[in-house]
Structure 1
């Protein structure tokens, strides 16, 4: 821990509060209050107490931000060369790392996640800008063989003003992975972070201005989904929407965007299976499953929330998982626990309702299953690491996204049944496979319906690996080179170059 971070943590834990956090919208390169003058509270999930206030915007603030982005798109940003765009992103990566202690501190206070996870998110955000900084001057078109009398070629152009709806579980990471390729492509951005976690998006906007981004290229408007998110995705000047969140909300976003024939990149819900076959390295599989479901208290779209395990190793694996789950230390994120709180009281109540329903239906709660508080303070919105054994395929625990630290264990007889169970939900975001059999692993990876499959390690790949889902988990891909095309439109040109004589 750096000296700066130690000071921030010590001051906050001593009741000294937090100084210098952003409290206004970021529009046109300037901090701007809401036109209405209204504000909202930021709540610390580890205590349930407010620690900050920020601007609560409305459609008028959104309109100012979108028009600022549109003006920048047609003005200063359009005159910046691709290589210079890349240089801005490269400088941003350096500045993000320099601001790392303060970004991680704010992310932990806003979202509740353990400080070490927030520090990892900061490094991931910096790496994201590093990765995309090398792409702007390599977005090449091609020539087309139209014959001796014609010249044909294609060119890629920025799609226009892009809107980014940022979720509350990974506010910094999700913001970075969306805006970095959009900026690399030459687009301008209006972002609306979740009202639970607005701070790091605002901080990152200021960092990008310091890196050389022209005013108006990146704008951040804070407020509720109804008052800021809805008017943003429906704005007629927005040409592309990147949305990360629930399937139900994603459907409404697509409906609103359709009125303006605006493209949408939706990364939606998941109920991802982790398939463990009988020949696997159980130590590695247990490590993978624990991380897949209990990182960020299970508040991850791609969490491995279903363990699909062959009967031959079920008992051994369950015993190990239960022991590991019971040993997990929970507590305020600034104390670097193994697992932090749930980000909001509403989300904790939703998790509890799912587990209480399972208990009422007679399902076996192998461990956990209760809402709790921080053992050190008696405060905060925590939920025990929970494992529910022998969950039927059609049970809500196996079918619905709980978005919390709840693992559903599903027992199968062989790899073929594992495949059927893995594909038994309406979601198809991510899957994991653990086995020593190389052929079996890749056969399952081919036949499991998921946008991304991990083999013998979960959450692998980083920014270079395209990410996104199928079916009710969405479509399109973020991350990787593929993501940049989301923010571009292809133009074809055909010209007569000879009279034909």
Structure 2
């Protein structure tokens, strides 16, 4: 059985205790991973600080750093099929999707960050008497979820090391493999020991220790809003910088003039990717009363064509959820939905021998939903969409914004100007028009309200891992004309 170790100070580190890694399609333990503790975090911080101070990485020319990142990305690309298969085993993402989303996308983003690094401006003059200089924080940490681990890990690691920081990456014990592969690829291409360290461990013990550690100057966390609040509290102890990308309840607004064939497929894509286990999923579907029934019927007919099965099968469209806890949590929300008056327009139990093991949730469409129901207000994190009716566009915008979240939203229309006008009025960090889950490295990603703050990707992705220093030059004015005279009013000759 494969066993995966942590990666600290350029070496693989094992422990006496380990986590079981369970294949969501079968429920079987197929690998183990070392179980880290606070002592491993401390060792990683020491290694990272030592690397920041003496490895020479922070002084390496940006072009050389960018070249190293590109070479590491090429190494991952050479392992695309292997890593896609492993990713499918880790968290149940269908292998066909894993190749594009879980492995292919982060490779492209790493290459994009490398290109950004080549033109990064460390110092810029301001007026005639000053300049603004950017400098790395030093030791920074990333805390990564299990749903798209290498995607989010790349967003944190590559900008951080590109700008000269050292990194501790806390990975989820269910999905450590692809982040370890990233560390191994970077190290093989010459990244000094200690610049990137990978640790595992229980969230409450290890995650909280990272958030509160005085040697870590910034934490970038991706995960649930409740845990994000905990990270903030711990980070406040040392007033450390934060980026928080938290939960979502994306409103997907279909207008009457939308191309229905396109909008139906796109709306399924919006909430079914990774069995709905994506923070920016479109899980609230807002439909005009005039097309509600037709749209729901079309969507259900399309869902019946999906192949639901083992994530390792290339023919699979939709796989299992990650574990029994997640399956039971989603099932509980479906029970609540019916008690609150929602209708299960499509759903039920998956039957057949292939579903007797593993963690399966039937993709579900809930109608007769109102925005005050739990299934419309809370993040379910599963293949479930809540359909809400609206009568006017103003009502749709009001419903969309009536949430504590603000991560994503979408608008479907054949009138781009009209869609853009609505997009500008939605309280969300990302709004897609006639699409969903488009995560371009050129655009920033992050949330409004309780979906967090700070941005990953976009034109300022590297800036997120630097701090600004203002340097001011003497303006050359005679001494007697300086503002000093407000305090030193006695002429020097008289003072002597």
- TM-score class, shorter-chain normalisation, is over 0.9
Q: Which residue of 2 aligns with 1:354?
A: 333
Mapping of residues 273-352 of structure 1, within 5 Å = 273-336=251-314, 337-352=316-331
Distance 1:192 1:374, change over 3 A: farther
SS at match of 1:183: helix
Q: Which residue of 1 aligns with 2:390?
A: 412
1:116 offset after TM fit, Å? 0.9
- Distance in 1 between the 2:127 and 2:307 partners? 64
Q: Which residue of 1 aligns with 2:22?
A: 43
Structure 1, residues 286-345: CA drift from partner, whole Å, max 9, x if none?
Answer: 011010111100000000001001111111100011112233221110013110110011
Contact 1:306 1:409 in 2 (8 A): yes
SS at match of 2:451: coil
Contact 2:135 2:466 in 1 (8 A): yes
Q: Which residue of 1 aligns with 2:109?
A: 128
- Distance in 2 between the 1:103 and 1:233 partners? 30
Q: Which residue of 2 aligns with 1:171?
A: 149
Extract unaligned runs of 5+ from structure 1. Answer: 1-16
- Distance in 1 between the 2:201 and 2:468 partners? 34
Mapping of residues 24-43 of structure 1, within 5 Å = 24-34=5-15, 37-43=16-22
Q: Which residue of 1 aligns with 2:167?
A: 189
- Distance in 2 between the 1:257 and 1:369 partners? 43
TM-score by length of 2: 0.93
1:85 aligns with 2:65: yes
Structure 1, residues 1-25: CA drift from partner, whole Å, max 9, x if none?
Answer: xxxxxxxxxxxxxxxx6xxx55211
Q: Which of 214, 218, 221 does residue 240 from structure 1 map onto? A: 218
1:107 offset after TM fit, Å? 0.8
Contact 1:468 1:475 in 2 (8 A): yes
Contact 2:3 2:31 in 1 (8 A): no
Q: Which of 144, 147, 170 does residue 126 from structure 2 map onto? A: 144
Question: Structure 1 runs of 4+ off > 4 angstroms?
Answer: 372-375
Distance 1:191 1:460, change over 3 A: same
- Distance in 2 between the 1:231 and 1:494 partners? 38
Work out the number of aligned pairs and report it. Answer: 475
Contact 2:132 2:470 in 1 (8 A): yes
Distance 1:209 1:427, change over 3 A: same
- Distance in 1 between the 2:240 and 2:135 partners? 16
Contact 2:59 2:164 in 1 (8 A): no
- Distance in 1 between the 2:110 and 2:224 partners? 26
TM-score by length of 1: 0.92
Q: Which residue of 2 aligns with 1:3?
A: none
SS at match of 2:170: strand
Extract unaligned runs of 5+ from structure 2. Answer: 480-496
Q: Which residue of 1 aligns with 2:488?
A: none
1:364 offset after TM fit, Å? 0.7
- Distance in 1 between the 2:339 and 2:473 partners? 71
- Distance in 2 between the 1:88 and 1:497 partners? 42
Contact 1:269 1:472 in 2 (8 A): yes
Mapping of residues 325-404 of structure 1, within 5 Å = 325-336=303-314, 337-370=316-349, 372=350, 375-376=353-354, 378-404=356-382
Contact 2:277 2:382 in 1 (8 A): yes
Contact 1:331 1:375 in 2 (8 A): no
- Distance in 2 between the 1:139 and 1:126 partners? 20
